[in-house]
């Protein structure tokens, strides 16, 4: 039986000049969205797109095809709301912190606190609020968590600095931390991270009742 996915570009690492040479996750998104061929399409929040590119490029060739079903759900997820950047950074940091090597834990713990602080500031809530996911992640690394708290008390990040530097660094550090972690299946954790981050963004941008469509992943013989 003919499968329309057979006629689409094949996911692979890096940028591609045109669909005949393959596609990264975001290039395939631009293709499906009807945009100009690009790995930075306008249809997706820039930080979410950055996460998708990192996951695509750091997933093994054997597992990358499993990402295809997530591509449609990332289309039309764009917003200028800084809460989106903070939620992306927070999801990434809380996912990576419990599994990352010791030398990456301090930076990731600081990323957790920075994202939480930005969310409380934007929500007008009292400083120091932590979500349950953040508390659990920090409890896994008590030494790094205490160091991060001391550092964060002495530093105050601006909204501009968070969007431009802190949030992108959190995403990159998190993906690298997962890839280099001593866990049995980093590919699955990367896919879960991307899937859950897309869901977080959809809830913020489209509303909590959002249920983004996901295409079935093709099964190859």
**Residue 34 domain flag:** no
**Residue 51 domain flag:** no
The structural domain count of the chain equals 1
**Residue 103 domain flag:** yes
186 pLDDT higher than 90? yes
Determine what percent of the chain is predicted with pLDDT higher than 90.
Answer: 76
**Residue 156 domain flag:** yes
Q: What tens digit of pLDDT does each residue of 117-150 get?
A: 999 999 998 888 899 999 999 999 999 999 999 9
**Residue 27 domain flag:** no
30-33: Cβ within 8 A, 24+ apart: 32/71, 32/72, 32/75, 33/75, 33/76
**Dihedral of alpha carbons 42, 198, 191, 140, sign:** positive
Reported as type and span, the H/E element at residue 192 is helix 186-206
Find out whether 83 and 122 touch, Cβ atoms under 8 Å.
yes
Q: Is 3 helix (H, G, I), strand (E, B) or coil?
A: coil
Reported as type and span, the H/E element at residue 149 is helix 142-154
Find out whether 166 and 114 touch, Cβ atoms under 8 Å.
yes
What range defines the domain where residue 123 resides?
82-171
**Residue 166 domain flag:** yes
**Residue 188 domain flag:** no
**Residue 58 domain flag:** no
Q: What is the pTM of this model?
A: 0.88
């Amino acid at each position: 039986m003919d499968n329309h996915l057979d006629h689409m570009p094949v996911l692979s690492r890096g940028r591609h000049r045109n669909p005949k040479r393959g596609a990264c996750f975001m290039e395939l998104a631009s293709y499906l969205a009807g945009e100009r061929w690009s790995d930075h399409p306008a249809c997706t929040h820039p930080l979410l797109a950055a996460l998708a590119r990192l996951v695509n490029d750091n997933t093994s060739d054997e597992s990358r095809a499993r990402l295809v079903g997530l591509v449609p759900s990332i289309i039309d997820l764009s917003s200028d709301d800084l809460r989106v950047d903070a939620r992306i950074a927070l999801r990434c940091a809380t996912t990576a912190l419990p599994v990352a090597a010791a030398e990456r834990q301090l930076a990731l713990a600081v990323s957790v606190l920075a994202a939480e602080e930005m969310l409380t500031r934007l929500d007008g809530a009292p400083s120091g609020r932590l979500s349950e996911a953040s508390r659990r992640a920090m409890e896994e690394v008590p030494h790094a968590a205490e160091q991060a708290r001391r550092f964060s008390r002495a530093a105050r990040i601006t909204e501009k600095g968070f969007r431009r530097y802190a949030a992108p660094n959190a995403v990159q550090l998190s993906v690298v931390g997962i890839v280099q972690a001593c866990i049995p299946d980093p590919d699955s954790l990367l896919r879960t991270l991307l899937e859950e981050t897309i869901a977080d963004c959809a809830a913020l941008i489209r509303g909590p009742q959002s249920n983004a469509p996901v295409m079935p992943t093709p099964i190859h013989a």
